[in-house]
C-alpha cells in the first residue's frame, strides 16, 4: 500500500510519520510527476487552504487530484485538507465549511470526543480550525461533533476532520482511513 501525501505546505511530515509507524509506505506530492506515481490513497494535510489551492492550480495538480478523488481515490483531509474537499474548492465532498471558525491561533484548543466508526475518547487538536457548517447531501454523514459543530464527516471513501490527528499519539483516525483504502 502506498499513500500520497500532498506536501505543498502545512503539516504533511507529521502524517508521513504516523503512516511510517503503522508500516504504511508514503510519498510526497510536490509536483505533477509525483502525482503520476501509483497510489492507494491521498492525505490532504492541515496548513493554509488558500495557499494550497493556489499551488495546486499553479502546479497543474488541481484537476488531476479532483478527478482522481471523483473516480474513487480514498482521501483523508485534515483541517485545511477538509476545506480543500469542500464546496467551492475541490468540491468532491458535499460539505460547506466555515474557515477559521474557532478564531485565530490563540483560539486553538484540544478536545476529546467520539468519532463514529472510529472510537471513543479520540484526542482532537484544533488549530485555527474550520468546522462543517452544513452537510449538503445524504451521501455524506457526520462522524463527530464538538460544541454543537460538525468536526468530522465521511462521504464514500472521503474522510474529513477539522482537527489534527497527526499531532497526537492516537493513530485510530489514520487506521480508519487505511481501512477505507482496502
What is the distance between the alpha carbons of residues 128 and 102, in angstroms, rounded to a whole number?
6
Q: Which domains does the chain have, with CATH numbers?
A: 2-180 (3.40.50.880)
| Residues 128 and 105 sit within 8 Å (Cβ to Cβ) | yes
The terminus-to-terminus CA distance of the chain in angstroms comes to 9
C-alpha 150, offset from chain centre: 14
- Write down the residue that cell numbers 454523514 correspond to: 141
Chain segment 44-87, per-residue pLDDT in tens: 999 999 999 999 999 999 999 999 999 999 999 999 999 999 99
pTM for this prediction: 0.95
Considering 105-109, 129-133, 169-173, the range whose residues carry the highest mean pLDDT is 169-173
% pLDDT > 70, the chain: 96
Question: What are the residue numbers of the active site?
Answer: 79, 164, 166
**What is the per-residue burial (b if ≥16 Cβ within 10 Å, else e) of 57-91?**
eebebbeebbebbeeebbbbbbbbbbbbbbeebbe
Amino acid at each position: 500500500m502506498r499513500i500520497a501525501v500532498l506536501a505543498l505546505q502545512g503539516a504533511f511530515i507529521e502524517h508521513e510519520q504516523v503512516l511510517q509507524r503503522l508500516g504504511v509506505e508514503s510519498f510526497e506530492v510536490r509536483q505533477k510527476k509525483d502525482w503520476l506515481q501509483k497510489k492507494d490513497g491521498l492525505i490532504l494535510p492541515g496548513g493554509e487552504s488558500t495557499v494550497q489551492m493556489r499551488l495546486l492550480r499553479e502546479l497543474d495538480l488541481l484537476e488531476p487530484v479532483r478527478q482522481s478523488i471523483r473516480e474513487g481515490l480514498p482521501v483523508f483531509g485534515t483541517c485545511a485538507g477538509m476545506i480543500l474537499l469542500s464546496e467551492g474548492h475541490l468540491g468532491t465532498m458535499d460539505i460547506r465549511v466555515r474557515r477559521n471558525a474557532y478564531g485565530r491561533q490563540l483560539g486553538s484548543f484540544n478536545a476529546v470526543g467520539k468519532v463514529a466508526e472510529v472510537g471513543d475518547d479520540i484526542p482532537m487538536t484544533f488549530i485555527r480550525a474550520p468546522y462543517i457548517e452544513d452537510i449538503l447531501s445524504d451521501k455524506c454523514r457526520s462522524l463527530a461533533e464538538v460544541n454543537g459543530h460538525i468536526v468530522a464527516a465521511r462521504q464514500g471513501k472521503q474522510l474529513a476532520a477539522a482537527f489534527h490527528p497527526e499531532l497526537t499519539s492516537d493513530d485510530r483516525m489514520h487506521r480508519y482511513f487505511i481501512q477505507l483504502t482496502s
